[in-house]
A and B are shown apart, each in its own frame.
Chain A
Amino acid sequence: MIALGQDEIAKYPFLADAGQYLKDQGFSLEQFGTDPDLKQLIQKAYDRILVAADGKIYKSDLIGDHVSKEAALPREVFSFLLAIVLLKLCGMHTLIKRFALAEARRAEKYLERDLSNISDESKKELAIRVIDDLFSVQIEKQDDYFVIPVSDYLKHSINFHEREWKLINRHVENGLVFLTPHETVRLIRKELGTYINSKIINAKTPTMIPGFEDSVNKLSMLSKKFATFTVTTGEYPPCIKHAIDVLEKGENLPHSGRFMLATFLLSKGQTVQQIAPLFKNAPDYNPRVTLYQLNHLAGTSGSGTQYSCPSCEKLKTQSLCFATSECDNIINPLQFGKKRK
């Protein structure tokens, strides 16, 4: 683990060992529930969660890169640690997810600033080391850019849907991808969120601490707001309709198209026996082979893996996408027709 200075712990509180930090400062959790001065910090922690739940980033008492006052530093770190305690006591995963993401984005801002710091080499080095330690991504500075190996770039960018993150839209040279400090940090946002999330999930859940009940109850109420309901129309997306049309006309549907159709219908709960007849008009139809392949996709034979429906992005590259306005920015055909209520 990296040795952190005071300012660094305030910026990246998730890097610190929570229990150890409290002990080092000479406090126990119970004191926060009873001591009127310390109790304010529970409110601060609650607010920190609330801001995150709202999708915003918690504004800390840091001025620039520095803790404004001596007293502000423990407040910064305590409110983070107490927020984790509250989240554990309340046990609502949606809140934990939102909190982790907001904290990740908060840390992202500092990482970005540290990376682009020209005057203080050590700040930049620390940021590079944080990235390397946490995500095993080796970044190096080359002129105004940070460069990372293409394979590392791909592992992280693969979950982004915005087209500017596609490798083809990046500057690639000598096996390296060129990124600005902003892009470098953005690239690991999800992992940062996942890292913080897993730290919270893996933390021990304490038994209820006197003085914490109010905030925990309020959080439980709050989390109900985030439960979502969806309605489904049951209509097939255009790519699936097109595939069915092609088969009905007795034309050849490429292997990738058959894969899409079968995995889509299987995911919608249809059985192999229901799906098989769809392929009977195919020029090379063979009932035995069709059943074998469908069972394979369904995971009832072969490796036992159930294959999932390819993403819209994938279908585009296979020329199987026939998007209409109703597709409405979905990322997988399975989402078609599902609307948030």
Chain B
Amino acid sequence: MQDTDIKFLEDSFKKYYFEHFDLIHVPERTSEREFGFQKFNSGMTRHIQIKDDKELHLLFMQNVPSDVYCSNAYYSFPNLPMNEKDWKEADLIFDIDAKDLNLTCRANHTVSICYECNEISKDSNQCRKCNSTKLEKKSLPCKNCIDQSKIQVERLSEILTNDFAIDKENIHVYFSGNEGFHVYVYNSQFQEIGSRERSELTDYISLRGAIPETFGMRKFKQDRAAFPDFNEKGWKGRFSKYVFGSKSKRSKIITELLANGYSSFQKTLDDVSKNIGVKIDPNVTMDIHRIFRLPGSINSKSGLTKILCTDLTKFDPYSEASFLSDETIEVLANSPIEFKLKNKKFGPYNNEKVTVPTFVAVYMICKKLAKTA
């Protein structure tokens, strides 16, 4: 990124942090957490301990970070090296990202940027100019991406409340600032479990690793009564609603399942898992030492804010998470794909000078689709 771009992003971010510090959620038990930040075009600074809002504010003002992070873990000594921190517990976190949902819309709003010659084109596997295969993909997620991610968040919340008895007020959903959502669970029975246990939880939530017996299918001594019912709790009930469709079809479908046999049932399970298992990134949940983007801070991949969604159904990130100023600026834009911000359409731009509001310019520069003119 060129110096003028960095300067522009820094100025825009600084203004945001100055005007919207109220949006930055200082997490509870602040002094037990590890903070970290990144500046534009430089590495990560972490192992920082912060006392309160004031200190956090100072960090933003002094450093003008591109990204700010905070641990979900609680430590005795958050500022010491990893193995001396003395891990105590960690909130449970789930990451739902549109890019993991294999949506068909994705190809329509992904651009490829060539590492070799910087040529920008619509999604492809090879640079149209120099034929290089080393490409960076940037996606400008659409409404469908967000809607599909919301469905996953809702499914996840349903499992957390019903199967794991987690209170609704202990589940907080944040828009990640780019393509998905982060779901935080506080004060649960899972605070103290380690990484392997968390990985097992993710397998449960995504319905991975189930055996046919769990849903009533046996290798030998088959028994119709072993198949789950509609009103059963947990995955059994969800399974029957999905596979049988309606109560009246249950008996007929069980006959079919039994006729198709055990190994075919395993395939049915894979299909069920693909369709009703929640698509979460297991690596994020497993990692008990990770630092996560701080709620209220800007995501430098987009210039949008990671923000708490109080009403998920109505939430529209492209109007509600965009807080940068409306002041206009001239940029050299090269975005083969159209996008929508604050209910207005922008682009496509073919390597042209355009005057756009700051929030649009930042979005494009963060996506590497524009430069300051």
Residues of A at the B interface (CB closer than 8 Å) are 149-151, 154-155, 157-158, 163-164, 166-169, 171-176, 250, 255-256, 283-284, 302-305, 314, 316-318
Question: Roughly how many angstroms separate A155 CA and B196 CA in the complex, as a whole number?
Answer: 9
Whether B193 contacts A172 by the Cβ 8 Å rule is: no
The stretch that binds A, out of B50-58, B197-205, B332-340, B345-353, is B197-205
A-B contact list, 5 entries, CB within 8 Å: A150-B164, A169-B211, A174-B163, A175-B166, A283-B134
Whether A175 contacts B189 by the Cβ 8 Å rule is: yes
Whether B163 contacts A172 by the Cβ 8 Å rule is: yes
Chain B: residues with Cβ within 8 Å of the partner, total of 38
Whether A155 contacts B209 by the Cβ 8 Å rule is: no
Residues of chain A with a CB closer than 8 A to B201's CB: 150, 154, 167
Whether B209 contacts A168 by the Cβ 8 Å rule is: yes
**From A174, which residue of chain B is reached at the shortest CB distance?**
B165
**From B191, which residue of chain A is reached at the shortest CB distance?**
A151
Residues of chain B with a CB closer than 8 A to A303's CB: 81-83
Whether B209 contacts A151 by the Cβ 8 Å rule is: no
Contact mask B261-282 → A, CB, 8 Å, 1/0? Answer: 0000000000000000000001
Given A164-B213, A173-B233, A174-B233, output 19 extra A-B contacts at Cβ < 8 Å.
A149-B189, A154-B200, A167-B200, A167-B203, A167-B204, A168-B203, A168-B207, A168-B210, A168-B214, A169-B211, A171-B233, A172-B204, A172-B234, A174-B163, A302-B81, A303-B81, A305-B83, A317-B199, A317-B208
> Given A154-B200, A155-B193, A172-B234, are A163 and B282 also a contact pair (CB < 8 Å)?
no
**From B83, which residue of chain A is reached at the shortest CB distance?**
A303
Question: Roughly how many angstroms separate A15 CA and B278 CA in the complex, as a whole number?
Answer: 45
Whether B282 contacts A318 by the Cβ 8 Å rule is: yes
Whether A314 contacts B189 by the Cβ 8 Å rule is: no
* Option from A151, A163, A172 in Cβ contact (under 8 Å) with B197: A151
Whether B213 contacts A166 by the Cβ 8 Å rule is: no
Whether A173 contacts B163 by the Cβ 8 Å rule is: yes
Whether B209 contacts A302 by the Cβ 8 Å rule is: no
> Given A172-B204, A173-B234, A256-B283, are A151 and B189 also a contact pair (CB < 8 Å)?
yes
> Given A158-B197, A317-B209, are A171 and B234 also a contact pair (CB < 8 Å)?
yes
Whether B196 contacts A158 by the Cβ 8 Å rule is: yes
- Output the residue of A167, A168, A250, A318 with the most chain B CB within 10 A: A168
